[in-house]
Amino acid sequence: MVRIITRLDQVKKEQIKKAKPVIDFEIGNISGKVRAIIAAEEKEFKAGETKPVQIKKININANHICFISAYGTNMYGHALAVGEETYLPISMERTADHALFAAALDYKVEKEDLLGILILLPVDINF
């Protein structure tokens, strides 16, 4: 058996050494978007209740992940999540039109109330 060694073999070995490790996603240069989660309807809550609330639409770019800011912006409760009626893959443009709100105290959400803050970060998905 004859083994033929060429420069191409060296290049292939160097590429393997320099290959990125397998990761789920990369956060770009850590610049993202901050969006207010604002109520689009009125809804009453008793302390301890968690219900969906219609919100002003928030456009979510393709390949962006969403984080709810842990910093409380509403003294009566906190937005836990945002979503849309039809869930789409992260690779598509999406729109959040409702939020899950957990009330810490009795509270009537009114239109234009700030329920929380949504943070959008770009990601590079490697499947």
pLDDT digits (tens, 9 = 90+) for 22-45: 655 566 667 788 899 999 999 999
Q: Where are the domains of the chain?
A: 26-125
Q: What pLDDT was estimated at residue 100?
A: 97
Percent of the chain past pLDDT 70, that is, above it, reads: 83
Q: What pLDDT was estimated at residue 79?
A: 97
Under CATH, what is the fold of the domain 26-125?
A: Deoxyuridine 5'-Triphosphate Nucleotidohydrolase; Chain A (2.70.40)
Alpha carbon distances (Å) from 72 to 68, 69, 77:
10, 8, 8
Contact 62, 86 (CB under 8 A): no
- Residue written as token pair 């309807």: 41
Q: What is the pLDDT of residues 73-107, one digit of tens each?
A: 999 999 999 999 888 999 999 999 999 999 999 99
Q: What pLDDT was estimated at residue 122?
A: 86
